[in-house]
Amino acid sequence: MSFIYLIRHGETSWNLEERFQGTTNTDLTKTGLKQGKLLAKSLERTTFKNIYTSPLNRARITAEFIGDKTNCIVQEDLDFKEISFGDWEGLTTTQIRNKYPWMDKWFIDPSLYDIPNSDNLNEEKNRLKERLIKIANESKGHNTAIVSHAGIIRLSLLAALDLPLSYYWRFVFGNTSITILEYYNGIFLLKSLNDTSHLLSK
């Protein structure tokens, strides 16, 4: 058995403003920094063989908090950089809805529409499936942390559980949430979903 911890970064100002961030390199808010520290404290007794992180600041800094508490080197990895939302990046959901009337249908099933100049979600999903299997096989029973973004985590979950893109928005991932996949006998099992209980700590 191998365990993969899919961890979302802390809060950013664009999260609060409901702006699509994608590959834009935004920073953590004061609350986001506090969330990262609480997350790391909750994981300090967990042993990780590897911690991979998106190179974007909001994920990398969150990952560094974990690495410091668990004495594990953090490795930047482009495979876990957030997907590109193309022409939607930097826009609020209200702005997008006004410009693209089909946005609400896209929220129901992203496979029905392509965001202009964005990454192809099916291609990203297939790529992530291969990478997750490789990590699970190489970890040989150890824990691996992947600190990334909501888009990547959603696609990773769909890939691991063999779910269609229509399920993309059926999962919610809070800032610094922990989702755990168990790899057993060649299949992924969902062990924990969107755990943010560490944010209740004082």
pLDDT per residue as tens, the chain (202 positions): 789 999 999 999 999 999 999 999 999 999 999 999 999 999 999 999 999 999 999 999 999 999 999 999 999 999 999 999 999 999 999 999 999 999 999 999 999 999 999 999 999 999 999 999 999 999 888 999 999 999 999 999 999 999 999 999 999 999 999 999 999 999 999 999 999 999 997 5
Show the tokens assigned to 171: 């999962």
Please pick, among 11, 82, 89, 124, the residue that the annotation labels catalytic: 82
**106 SS3 class:** helix
* Conformational region of residue 141, where left means phi above 0, alpha means psi within -120 to 50, and beta covers everything else: left
Tokens of 95: 């702005």
pLDDT at 187: 95
Instruction: Give CA 180 to chain center in angstroms.
Output: 12
Alpha-carbon distance of 56 to 182, in angstroms, equals: 26
Q: Choose the catalytic residue: 9, 89, 124, 149.
A: 9
pTM here? 0.96
Tell me, yes or no, if 9 is annotated catalytic.
Answer: yes
All structural domains of the chain, each given as residue ranges with its CATH number in brackets, are: 2-200 (3.40.50.1240)
Six token digits for residue 77 = 């990895």
Q: What is the pLDDT of residues 18-31, one digit of tens each?
A: 999 999 999 999 99
The sign one gets for the Cα dihedral 5, 197, 153, 161 is: positive
Q: Reduced to 3 states, what is the DSSP secondary structure of residue 67?
A: helix
Phi, psi torsion values for 151, nearest 5 degrees: -65, -45
